[in-house]
Structure 1
Amino acid sequence: MSTMSAAPTGLRVLGRLRLSRSTDESTSLERQRETIQGWADAYGHKVIGWAEDVDVSGAVDPFDTPQLGSWLTPDRATDWDILAAWKLDRLGRNAIQLNRLFGWCNEHGKTLVSCSESIDLSSWAGRMLASVIAGLAEGELEAIRERSRASRVKLRESARWAGGKPPFGYRAVPRGEGSGWTLEHDPLAVPLVQRIVDDVLDGKPLSRVASELNTEGYRTPRDYHVTVKAGDPSLHLRDGEERSSRWQAGTLRNLLQNPALRGYVHHQGRIVRDDDGMPLVLGEPLVDSEEWDALQAILEGKREARKHYKRPDTAPLAGVVC
Structure 2
Amino acid sequence: MDPVTPYDGCGLCLVGVRRLSRMTGVTSSPERQRDEILRAVDAVGGHVIAWADDWEVSGATDPRTRDGFGPWLLGKMGPYDGIAGSMVDRIGRNAEDVLRTARENHELGRKLVTGDHLGLWDLDDPNQEMELGYKALGAQQEHRAIRTRNRQEVKRARAAGEPHNKPSYGYKYKRLAPTTKVVGAILDHGDEDLGSSDAAGEIRNVKDRILADQTGKITVATEAARLTRAKVLSPNDQLRVNYGQEPLGTPWSNKSLKRILCSLAALGYLMHKGQPVLGPDGTPVKIGPALWNRATHDALVAKTAPKRSVKRAPKGVYRQSGNITCGNCGYTLVVSGSRGSKGAVWNRSYACTAKFRGLPGAEDCKPSPSINMAKADAELEQWFLPRFGAAEFVETVYDPGTGKKDRIAEAEANRKRLRDDRAAGLYDEPADAQWYRQTYARMTEELKELHAEPDHPAGWRKIRTGRTVASEWAAATDEVVRRELLESFGVTAVLRPSTVAHRYVISADPDTNLMSDELLAMWEDVVA
Per the normalisation by structure 1, the TM-score is: 0.70
Aligned residues: 285
- The correspondence of residues 29-68 of structure 1 with structure 2, limited to 5 A, is 29=33, 31-33=35-37, 35-37=39-41, 39-40=43-44, 45-49=45-49, 51=51, 53=53, 55-57=55-57, 58-68=59-69
Counterpart in the other structure of 2:335: none
Per-residue deviation, 1:185: 1.5
Query: Counterpart of 1:271?
Result: 276
The answer as to whether partners of 2:17 and 2:83 remain within 8 angstroms in 1 is no
Matched AA of 1:171:
K
Equivalent-residue separation in structure 1 for 2:173 and 2:215 (angstroms) = 31
Mapped to 2, the partners of 1:103 and 1:111 lie a distance apart of: 11
How far did residue 137 of structure 1 move? 1.3
2 CA distance for matches of 1:46 and 1:218? Answer: 49
- Residue 93 of structure 1 and its aligned partner are, at CA, apart by 0.9
State how 1:143-222 maps to structure 2 within 5 Å. Answer: 143-164=145-166, 166-176=167-177, 178-187=180-189, 188-202=198-212, 204=214, 208-210=218-220, 212-213=222-223, 214-215=225-226
Q: Report the Cα distance in structure 1 between the residues aligned to 2:158 and 2:217, rounded to whole angstroms.
A: 34
Local SS of the residue matching 1:14: strand
Shift of 1:158: 3.3
Matched, 1:310 2:457: yes
The answer to whether the aligner puts 1:255 opposite 2:260 as a matched pair is yes
Higher radius of gyration, 1 or 2: 2
Q: Is the 8 A contact 1:113 1:121 kept in 2?
A: no
From 101, 121, 124, the equivalent of 1:122 is: 124
Opposite residue 288 of structure 2, the aligned amino acid is G
Asked if the contact 1:16/1:90 (under 8 Å) is kept, the reply is no
Who is 2:421 aligned against?
Answer: none
1:240 corresponding residue in structure 2:
none
> Percent identity at matched positions?
21
Counterpart contact for 1:16–1:91, Cα < 8 Å: no
> Which whole-Å CA distance do the structure 2 matches of 1:115 and 1:257 have between them?
49
Aligned partners of 1:205, 1:120: CA distance in 2, in Å? 71
Q: Distance in 1 between matches of 2:77 and 2:229?
A: 45
In structure 2, distance between residues paired with 1:221 and 1:51: 33
Alignment of structure 1 residues 237-248 onto 2, 5 Å? 244-246=250-252, 248=254
Aligned equivalents of 1:46, 1:55: Cα separation in 2 = 25
Aligned partners of 2:264 and 2:270: how far apart in 1?
8
Q: Distance in 1 between matches of 2:47 and 2:228?
A: 51
AA at the equivalent of 2:294 = S
Q: Which moved more, 1:259-268 or 1:56-65?
A: 56-65
Partner SS, residue 155 of structure 1: helix
String of CA shifts for 1:100-133, please: whole Å, max 9, x gaps: 2123213312233445345532323322332233
Contact 1:173 1:181 in 2 (8 A): yes
Residue in structure 1 matching 2:237, options 223, 226, 232: 226
Letter in 1 for 2:457: K
Q: Provide structure 1 residue ranges, at least 5 long, that are not aligned to the other structure.
A: 1-9, 234-242, 314-322
SS of residue matched to 2:168: coil
Q: Is the 8 A contact 1:170 1:185 kept in 2?
A: yes
Rounded to whole Å, the distance in 2 between the matches of 1:254 and 1:61 is 30
For the aligned residue pairs, the C-alpha RMSD in angstroms reads: 4.0
Q: Structure 1 residues 201 and 225 mapped into 2: Cα distance closer, same or farther (>3 Å)?
A: same
With a CA cutoff of 8 Å and minimum separation of 6, indicate the structure with the bigger relative contact order. 1
Deviation of 1:258 (Å)? 0.7
Residue pair 1:171, 1:186 contacting (<8 A) in 2 also: yes
- 1:293-313 CA distance string (max 9 Å, x none): 4444555689xxx89872499
Return closer, same or farther for 1:269/1:219 CA change in 2, 3 Å cut-off. farther
User: What is the deviation of 1:135?
Assistant: 2.2
